[in-house]
């Protein structure tokens, strides 16, 4: 009789992830278009999207009903306070585990494959590890029920545009609370809609 040992899922309360973002081109190649950083500490989460045109951060705490969106466009800095969790008409229509003959390894972690179909016509192809999970898993809204940490995902929009987010670094070191603070003096407030 052969026993198979499987590591238990480790819930992580502090984590920094870096993703590289590329856009698929019609000729089969992809173009690097930016990066995304994800910071989680306890119930707090901050995601920062960086492209040549803008830097946008989304900061929320799962125990509060408000979140902040910070946008830096050139020399202009904007702050928007929104209700959290966001009221969205987007719903997940189907979730499907994708069987794989080969083991997918991302940053040293074995990953499973999953596909989510959403009501707006978009499809998420996700690679996640069950070895780790975050205290705040929903750095992308559709990840809220994924049973582990997402390390790669491709979003294919209904119009065919496809964007791949590939984790390039994971750091489980303690994070400073200052990462989640907002200096409101440098931002122009935008009214909530």
Range of the domain at 61: 13-174
The answer to whether residue 107 sits within a structural domain is: yes
- The torsion angles phi and psi of 143, rounded to 5 degrees, stand at -85, 0
The residue length of the chain stands at 193
CATH number at residue 166: 2.50.20.10
Among 69, 77, 22, CA closest to 48 = 69
Rounded Cα gap, residues 154 and 33, in angstroms = 14
Residue 91: pLDDT band with limits 50, 70, 90: confident
Strands 132-134 and 10-12 turn out to be parallel
Q: What is the tens place of the pLDDT at every residue in 134-148?
A: 999 888 888 988 999
The answer to whether residue 51 sits within a structural domain is: yes
The answer to whether residue 191 sits within a structural domain is: no
Domain count, the chain: 1
Q: What is the tens place of the pLDDT at every residue in 29-88?
A: 999 999 999 999 999 999 999 999 999 999 999 999 999 999 999 999 999 999 887 776
The answer to whether residue 168 sits within a structural domain is: yes
Q: Convert 14-44 to b/e letters by CB count within 10 Å (16 or more is b).
A: bbbbebbbbebeeeeeeeeebebbbbbbeeb
Task: Assess whether pLDDT exceeds 70 at residue 89.
Answer: no
Residue 50 contacts residue 35 (beta carbons within 8 Å): yes
The answer to whether residue 146 sits within a structural domain is: yes
The answer to whether residue 5 sits within a structural domain is: no
Cα–chain center distance at 169: 13
The answer to whether residue 180 sits within a structural domain is: no
Task: Assess whether pLDDT exceeds 60 at residue 3.
Answer: no
- Residue 39 Ramachandran class (φ > 0 left, ψ -120 to 50 alpha, else beta): beta
Q: Is the dihedral of CA 10, 12, 16, 19 positive or negative?
A: positive
The answer to whether residue 192 sits within a structural domain is: no
Rounded Cα gap, residues 56 and 61, in angstroms = 17
């Amino acid at each position: 009789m052969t026993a198979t040992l499987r590591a238990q899922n480790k819930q992580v309360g502090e984590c920094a992830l870096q993703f590289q973002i590329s856009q698929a081109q019609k000729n089969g190649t992809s173009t690097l278009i930016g990066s995304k950083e994800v910071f989680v500490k306890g119930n707090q989460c901050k995601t920062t999207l960086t492209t040549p045109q803008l830097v946008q951060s989304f900061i929320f705490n799962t125990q509060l009903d408000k979140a902040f969106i910070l946008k830096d466009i050139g020399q202009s800095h904007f702050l928007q306070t929104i209700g959290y969790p966001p009221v969205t008409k987007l719903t997940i229509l189907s979730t499907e585990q994708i069987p794989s003959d080969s083991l997918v390894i991302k940053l040293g972690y074995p990953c499973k494959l999953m596909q989510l179909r959403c009501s707006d016509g978009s499809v998420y192809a996700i690679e996640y590890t069950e070895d780790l999970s975050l205290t705040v898993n929903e750095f992308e809204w559709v990840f809220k029920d994924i049973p582990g940490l997402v390390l790669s995902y491709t979003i294919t929009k209904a119009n065919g545009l496809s964007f791949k987010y590939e984790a390039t670094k994971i750091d489980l070191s303690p994070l400073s609370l200052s990462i989640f603070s907002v200096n409101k003096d440098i931002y122009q407030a935008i009214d909530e809609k």
